[in-house]
Amino acid sequence: MCHSTDSRPPAPPVQGEVASHEQIELTAADGNRLLAYRAEPAEPNGRGMVILPDVRGLHPYYRDLAVRFAEAGFRTIAIDYFGRTAGLGDRGDDFDFMTHVRQITTDGVRQDVLAATKELDGPVFTVGFCMGGAHSWRQAAEGNGLAGGIGFYGALRAVEEPSTGPGAPLLLLRAGADTVSTPEQFAAYEAALDRVGTEHESHVYEGAPHSFFDRSYAEWAAACQDAWRRILSFTERHAQPR
């Protein structure tokens, strides 16, 4: 499970200033109203980032993470998944998220991500965690106007293998001791990406547990910092015209 007792997310290697950050509402193409959290950098790097949380939705952890991405120069929006079934309420630690996780559809996630993407200029990437990690890869593998998709320890059961492509490039950041998705499942997923011609790169943090980036980042600080560096490198490389 991808929930945790967490404090502030790890800082990016180069930390800047944030111009503003606030909770907002977005409206998807099907009329769904969803909570989101926007963070604007004081010195934009020209890239946008949409954060796809774990099963908790727009938990305070992901609001803080949006700020951290803005400190690294990204115009950032973190989205909530549960507007269709839970309305616009709080997603704190007492939120019964699993009731609503079971009602998520891949089409609904796609529409909500697109609503966020349209709010951001320049090349836009997605980054997700657990369930959100798999959906991040799926969004980019489909194209959806994205420059790339990043996922931490994606729960591959949440999405289908890609059947068409090539899509936008993917970055797979995996936990070596993950039990949510097995090495065999990742091998099959990457083979499917190869078949459709979608560019992807994968890195395994040996021994790291599922959710290492939030639940146990103090113990896995070096892995977290390395992941930040890989995200910055990946987005810089793929922000260029292809």
For 10-63, write each residue's pLDDT tens digit: 655 556 888 899 999 999 999 999 999 999 999 999 999 999 999 998 999 999
Domains of the chain: 18-238 (3.40.50.1820)
- The token duo for 33 is 């109203």
**Is residue 157 within 8 Å of 170, Cβ to Cβ?**
no
Whole-number pLDDT of residue 216: 59
Share of the chain above pLDDT 70, in %: 92
- Rounded (10°) CA dihedral 124, 129, 132, 135: 70
**Is residue 48 within 8 Å of 125, Cβ to Cβ?**
yes
Digit-coded pLDDT (tens) for 210-239 = 988 876 567 888 999 999 999 999 999 999
What amino acid is encoded at 137 in this protein?
A: W
**Taking the model in full, what pTM does it have?**
0.92
Range with the poorest average pLDDT among 105-109, 161-165, 197-201: 161-165
